Amino acid sequence: MPRSQKPSAAPLLPASRTLDALRDAAAGCQACHLWQVGTQTVFGEGREEAKVMLVGEQPGDHEDVEGKPFVGPAGALLDRGLEAAGIDRSEAYVTNVVKHFKWKAAGKRRLHQKPNAEEIGACKPWLMAEIEVVRPQVVVCLGATAAQALLGRSFRVTQQHGQWADWPHEPKITATVHPSSILRAPDAEAREAAYAGFVADLTVVAAELTSS
């Protein structure tokens, strides 16, 4: 690839736009270097007719091993928050902006590394295709990486969470904090406050889903 050309999964998108076809094509994705870093592509999971799509940053250590999104500690907290807000995860579609785990070794541990703009841009065609196929009523960005990938770099989750944002696509879109940020809160009080805010944001989504 010429140095000036940005990596992109776009040429790998299959002509047949179904989740199965997308998942199969994404399994062999080498659009950016992260295929050499993660164990496998972790594609989105859930119903093709889902009314709500939840978008995280990238698979973590557990997800990388299991090949499914949000199955580790952040996933457990996501499940708890969804249940508290009255959203059934089995009715949702759950995915990530970046489909490979980016990490660096720290002894025996694999430490999460934030994906950069080039990696996000390379992977974004998969996410846009998932949105196009699932056609959810609502997209929920979990954390700043997802929100800024879909809504632009100036989006601030801290200020704009729980509000409907403008974007040029059909589903309504909103953002809330990433469940991992709740787990990282410095103490129990901060954790409880962050979790309460997370559930409040998801409750706005639940109300939208039941209003139609």
Which residues contact ligand URA by CB under 6 A?
A: 56-60, 63, 69-70, 72, 74-75, 96, 180
Q: Nearer to ligand URA by C-beta: 13 or 74?
A: 74
CB of 42 to ligand URA, least distance (A): 7
Q: Nearer to ligand URA by C-beta: 29 or 211?
A: 29
Q: Nearest CA to 165 among 141, 182, 181, 142?
A: 141
Q: Nearer to ligand URA by C-beta: 16 or 104?
A: 104
Which residue number has the CB closest to ligand URA?
Answer: 56
Beta-bridge partners for 176? 142
Question: Do you know the residue count of the chain?
Answer: 212
Q: Nearer to ligand URA by C-beta: 25 or 74?
A: 74
CB of 58 to ligand URA, least distance (A): 6
Beta-bridge partners for 151? none
Q: Nearer to ligand URA by C-beta: 9 or 144?
A: 144
Q: Nearer to ligand URA by C-beta: 72 or 210?
A: 72
Q: What are the φ/ψ torsions at residue 82 (nearest 5 degrees)?
A: -65, -45
CB of 206 to ligand URA, least distance (A): 21
Nearest-5° Cα angle at 17, 13 to 22: 55
Kindly give, in sequence order, each residue whose CB lies less than 8 Å from that of residue 198, ignoring residues fewer than 6 positions away: 81, 176, 177, 179, 182
CB of 66 to ligand URA, least distance (A): 10
Q: Assign residue 153 a region (left: φ > 0; alpha: ψ between -120 and 50; beta: otherwise).
A: alpha
Six-digit token string for 183: 């787990």
- CA gap 206, 49 in Å, rounded: 16
CB of 97 to ligand URA, least distance (A): 8
- CA gap 171, 96 in Å, rounded: 17
